[in-house]
Amino acid sequence: MNHAKFFLFILYLFPCFISAEIQYGAFDPAYWNGLVILKDHHAFAFRQENDIIIGKSSGLTFRFIPIGSVIEKVETKEKEFSGMVSPKVRAFYFYAGFDNPTLTDRRIEEMLETNRINYSALRPQVSGQWQGLIASINNNLAWMKLYQPDKKRIYLPAGRRWIFPKPDGTQDLWTIFEWDAFFNALEAAVEDKELARQEIEAVLDAEMMMRIAGLLGKKEDAETFKKEYETVKEKINQHLWNRDFYYDRYWDGVFSTHKAASNFYPLIAGVPEEERVKKLLEHLSSGKEFWGDYVLPTISRDNPAFKDQQYWRGTIWPPTNYLVYQGLKRYGLDEIAAEFAVKSATLFLNSWQTFGLCRENYNSVTGEGGGQRYQSWGPLFALILLEDFIDISPFDGFRVGNLAASQWGCEGFD
């Protein structure tokens, strides 16, 4: 079974089952090659080691029967079983239940093809110049879905391999980061609103909470959040603005001299007044500082650390670009936002369409991908361009199109 593919199929009604149904199937080659979750949230997983399929149950005994292939040798040990599968098998189908299956491999092929056709017909799509833009977002997220049995939910981790370890050094599959969850929710909302809801549960700031409370008629809560927002806004303007830019500041009051992409974040929070916005744009559009063929470097190009192009020392990060882009849109800076969106999407799609990689960050000089090969926030670059043409924001409401985009070789979607 050297290069056999695994296919998991979802059955919501299966007459052979007594009390268990296959509720969800997932695929993650970095950990388990396959995972089946029964409706009572017991799990059965399997992985491939050379020509051996190793399966493990989480406390429920049921049949694991291959369809259309032969397990030549089977060994069992406690809740784990292993079987050698014929290496000529093209696809490994299986049935998990309490009775012998009535399905054939041909019937499974038909079911998969029917589901594929239905899914393809209903999912959002882009044609024309940016064909594949939406698919690049959702396809990458689909690779990263995991099941969290203690919460009985599906979730998106930070990536397929980059997971923080447990204290004993083994990998912890359930690591969830705050800003990763927020960005993953934005990406998931393009196609899966339920997954987006689960991801966004606790990642809202004071201003957005104020707006939500206002819509719900909770005037007292809205006023509380408004005061919190205004206080933070005032302190940022009072303590972090130095001459012509927002700078980080040390505990002793000394301003940092490093100009970073994160210093544009006050834009998304609506912090600077018009004159300060103009100063920020001068820095952003300067080829000596931040602008160029590839944007947006995490540290300015005139900083000694920029030449390192290592992680936060000059590389380009999808979350950083997304937040800065949202700041530009909040202030109605459509022309530079459109160019920013095109540069971001082009950078991502060059890697995705050429190598099938969803990189963690990118070199600001060469445009080459770096860091993790499959990072969940990678498609944010594509989402930026998608939102430049159609989006709903708390500031502008529903918006379609950007007249400035055609100047940057972007004619829109068909």
User: What separation in angstroms does the CA of 211 have from each of 59, 273, 326, 388, 414?
Assistant: 46, 21, 17, 23, 34
Q: How far apart are CA 173 and CA 122, in angstroms?
A: 31
Buried b (16+ CB within 10 A) or exposed e, 283-307: bbeeeebbbbebbbbbbbbebeebe
Sequence-ordered list of residues with C-beta below 8 angstroms from that of 132, at least 6 positions apart, any chain: 126, 349, 353
Q: How far apart are CA 39 and CA 16, in angstroms?
A: 15
Sequence-ordered list of residues with C-beta below 8 angstroms from that of 232, at least 6 positions apart, any chain: 206, 269
pLDDT of residue 8: 31
Sequence-ordered list of residues with C-beta below 8 angstroms from that of 282, at least 6 positions apart, any chain: 244
The segment(s) of the chain belonging to CATH 1.50.10.10 are: 216-408
The per-residue pLDDT string of the chain (414 residues; one tens digit each, 9 = 90 and over) reads 333 323 332 222 222 222 333 333 333 333 344 444 444 444 555 555 555 555 555 554 445 555 566 656 666 666 555 566 555 555 555 555 545 556 666 776 787 788 788 888 888 888 888 888 988 998 888 777 776 655 666 778 777 665 556 667 666 655 667 678 788 888 988 888 878 877 765 345 677 778 888 888 999 999 998 998 899 999 999 999 999 999 999 999 999 999 999 999 999 999 999 999 999 999 999 999 999 999 999 999 999 999 999 989 999 999 999 999 999 999 999 999 999 999 999 999 999 999 989 999 999 999 999 998 888 889 999 999 999 988 888 888 888 877 666 565 555 555
Query: For the domain with range 216-408, which CATH number is right: 3.60.21.10, 1.50.10.10, 3.40.109.10, 3.30.460.10?
Result: 1.50.10.10
One-letter amino acid at 183 equals F
Q: How far apart are CA 135 and CA 122, in angstroms?
A: 12
pLDDT of residue 382: 95
pLDDT of residue 115: 79
Which pair of tokens denotes residue 150?
């203690």
